[in-house]
Amino acid sequence: MDSDNNQIEEIKNKLDIVSVVEKYVKLRLAGKNYSGLCPFHTEKTPSFIVSPDLQRYKCFGCGETGDIYNFIQKIENIDFPEALEKLAKEAGVELKKSKPNSKFKTLEEINYNATKYYYNELKKDNTALKYLKKRGFTEDSIKNFGVGYAPKYPKLKESLFKTKHYTEKQLLDSGLFTKKENSIKEKFYDRIMFPIRSKRGVVIGFTGRVLPGNDWGPKYMNSPETPLFHKKDNLFGQYESRQEIRKSDLVIMCEGSTDVISAHQHGIKNIVAPLGTGLTKEQLQSISTLTKNVLFFFDTDEAGYQALIRGFKLASELRLNPYATSANPCKDIDELLQKDPKLVMKAIKNKQEAFTFILTHSLKEKNLNQLEDLSSVRNFIGSLLDIVPDIVTRQHYAKKASVLTKISSTEFFDSKNTQNSRKNYLRIVPVKLEENSLEKKFLKLLLLLDDIKDENLIPVEQISSENFLNLYKVISAKKYSNKDQLYELLKKDNNTKILLEDLLFDLMDIPTTREEILEELEIVKRRLKEKYLKNKQKELSVKIAIAEEENNSKDIEKYMQEFTNINKLLKD
């Protein structure tokens, strides 16, 4: 693993981010940084900044930020291994192939052989085959997805042992076996078996569906958590659909594995499904390397609607573009495909922004002339908007909601919603609220100095902003030799790291010589001291008023003397 990390860093050290980005974006020098039109969203005024110091980029329009690997993944719509390979060639670095983990290799081997066993068992069982054909599964689909069958009396263990003897622990670690009464037994039986593949195409687990007439256990049962398989991180169809997702720049998120296979049979191949439980943030993050556009095509029941709301919130948090559509008049996409595939294509084409879709659905049962319903809708819209971190998107949704409800968009941000929205805003762009602050200018000037002396610093109490104070403490400690090291020191403090990025990306109209920097720094230091002293006077004024109210002559005299001393300092 250390070797892999060393190669990643070696490539970064050999390539300059400006040279990498310039192949895709026209950049011009702006102070110590470079600026250009963002390649990730439409804009007329450049808000895309590349920092040679930090070797990172950031767009102040859409929020996209990262290093050379993030940039290549995003601009080329590829995943990390592909970006690593591309940049390695550019840097002239030969990637070393890491040795596979023997534990993982053994589990992959068991899953591979199990897939073959289930596939062959399906051919022997007429009931299972008849069921799949009734559901519309073709032979090609069964083969392409490796669909199989775990018989009522499975002999998977015996089949595995024909090629190799596995230990009890290896069998249990695979998730295909359980231990009952000191005996190792198969976990799956009398179930249609759907192999779950990783992004690399390796079988990491299984989904087993009961056949009609089998009332044992849940309708769908997944492999348990194993060293290979983590349900929250993976999606059914992620390997089979990856190329079409990239090509169409859209991923369709449906509810089940059978929906995915049915869709593939009808030429809809950019589709995946969560694995039996609710959609997770990790699953969306995983698929976001292929596209930022997510179409939720869930069942038309209440559970499907609630799943859509959850999907919208998770996608919005990740700054993805969530859309929605419906299988009406059918229950799900599979049923709609069987009725008429053209209806599915039409539903995909007529997709709506998920926010509008959700709101339209919620308004159907409401009477906005009744105060209770009006209040409920306003609060519901506010709760949805509160999740959206991007301010422009949030305002766009608010306008849509205002058109649909005839409620002023400002009402969606009242009370609790306003406070939460402000918290989100502070979390995302903590600097923006203090755009013209002296503290910001002071820190920017400090960051221009390669060698910070003690005389360049000020007492920490003169920094009034908590955000700026955290960064100033790290800078004034002088435990770094370059901006990259400073950035590393802040990796665990996300707000302060974002603040540093914003300051470095904002080094535009700046003094160019050390003498000019020091001269301006002295002016800002004096102004900060003046601001600090005036704030102390305000505090003393309150203390004097309280002391007078309490008729405490001793305190009055003390505070008045302090006030007079500050006055002298201010005159000086």
The answer to whether residue 273 scores a pLDDT higher than 90 is yes
Instruction: Tell me which of 88-102, 125-139, 169-183 is least confident.
Output: 88-102
Q: Are residues 424 and 439 in the same domain?
A: no
Please report which helix (H) or strand (E) contains residue 488, including its range. helix 483-489
Give domain status of residue 571, yes or no: no
- Per-residue pLDDT at 433: 38
Distance CA 347, CA 328 (A): 9
- Per-residue pLDDT at 324: 95
- Per-residue pLDDT at 30: 86
pLDDT tens digits, residue range 193-205?
Answer: 999 999 888 999 9
- Per-residue pLDDT at 550: 54
Q: Are residues 277 and 381 in the same domain?
A: no
- Per-residue pLDDT at 540: 73
- Per-residue pLDDT at 572: 75
Q: Are 299 and 327 in contact (CB under 8 A)?
A: yes
Q: Are residues 189 and 79 in the same domain?
A: no
Q: What percent of the chain has pLDDT over 90?
A: 41
pLDDT tens digits, residue range 480-498?
Answer: 878 878 888 887 888 888 8
- Per-residue pLDDT at 185: 92
pLDDT tens digits, residue range 436-482?
Answer: 478 888 888 888 888 888 888 989 888 877 778 888 888 888 888 78
Q: Are residues 182 and 274 in the same domain?
A: no
Task: Tell which of 338, 360, 382 closes a domain.
Answer: 360
Q: Are residues 438 and 561 in the same domain?
A: yes
- Per-residue pLDDT at 369: 66
Give domain status of residue 204, yes or no: yes
**Banded pLDDT at 98 (limits 50, 70, 90):** low
pLDDT tens digits, residue range 32-78?
Answer: 889 999 998 888 888 899 998 889 999 988 888 999 999 998 888 77
pLDDT tens digits, residue range 312-338?
Answer: 999 999 989 999 999 988 998 988 998
C-beta atoms surrounding 301 within 10 Å:
11
**Banded pLDDT at 125 (limits 50, 70, 90):** very high
Within a 13 Å sphere around the CA of 330, how many CA atoms are in the beta-carbon half? 18
**Banded pLDDT at 501 (limits 50, 70, 90):** confident
**Banded pLDDT at 419 (limits 50, 70, 90):** very low
DSSP 136: T
Q: Are residues 356 and 370 in the same domain?
A: no
Give domain status of residue 16, yes or no: yes
Give domain status of residue 49, yes or no: yes
Give domain status of residue 42, yes or no: yes
- Per-residue pLDDT at 76: 83
Distance CA 484, CA 51 (A): 11
What average pLDDT does this structure show over 197-219?
Answer: 87
Domain that holds residue 246: 242-360
- In terms of pLDDT, which residue wins out, 548 or 512? 512
Q: What percent of the chain has pLDDT over 70?
A: 92
Q: Are residues 269 and 324 in the same domain?
A: yes
Q: Per the structure block, which two tokens stand in for 403?
A: 């058109």
Q: Which CATH number fits the domain that encloses residue 486?
A: 1.10.860
Residue whose structure tokens are 């993944």: 73
Task: Tell which of 300, 326, 360 closes a domain.
Answer: 360
Parallel/antiparallel/unpaired status of strands 293-296 and 321-324: parallel
The answer to whether residue 187 scores a pLDDT higher than 50 is yes
Q: Average model confidence (pLDDT) for the chain?
A: 85
Distance CA 150, CA 210 (A): 10
- Per-residue pLDDT at 511: 79
Highest mean pLDDT among 1-10, 34-43, 143-152, 397-406: 143-152
Q: Which CATH number fits the domain that encloses residue 344?
A: 3.40.1360.10
Each as own residue / partner, the long-range contacts of residues 342-346 (CB below 8 Å, 24 or more positions apart, any chain) are: 344/263, 344/266, 344/268, 345/268
Give domain status of residue 452, yes or no: yes
Distance CA 271, CA 252 (A): 5
Based on C-alpha coordinates, what's the Rg of the chain?
30
**Banded pLDDT at 235 (limits 50, 70, 90):** very high
Q: Please state, in angstroms and as integers, the Cα–Cα distance from residue 137 to each residue in 2, 23, 259, 266, following that order.
A: 46, 46, 11, 11
**Banded pLDDT at 542 (limits 50, 70, 90):** low
Find the angle CA(335)-CA(208)-CA(282) to the nearest 5 degrees.
85
Task: Tell which of 206, 229, 252 closes a domain.
Answer: 229
- Per-residue pLDDT at 551: 66
Q: Per the structure block, which two tokens stand in for 321?
A: 């573009």
The answer to whether residue 368 scores a pLDDT higher than 80 is no
- Number of separate domains in the chain: 5
Q: Are residues 445 and 539 in the same domain?
A: yes
Q: Are residues 171 and 221 in the same domain?
A: yes
Q: Per the structure block, which two tokens stand in for 21?
A: 């980005």
The answer to whether residue 432 scores a pLDDT higher than 80 is no
- pTM value is 0.63
pLDDT tens digits, residue range 238-270?
Answer: 999 988 998 899 999 998 898 999 999 999 999
Give domain status of residue 235, yes or no: no
Give domain status of residue 161, yes or no: yes
Q: Are residues 16 and 39 in the same domain?
A: yes
Q: Are residues 470 and 560 in the same domain?
A: yes
Q: Are residues 78 and 174 in the same domain?
A: no
The answer to whether residue 184 scores a pLDDT higher than 80 is yes
Q: Please state, in angstroms and as integers, the Cα–Cα distance from residue 216 to each residue in 119, 147, 202, 213, 549, following that order.
A: 22, 21, 29, 9, 79
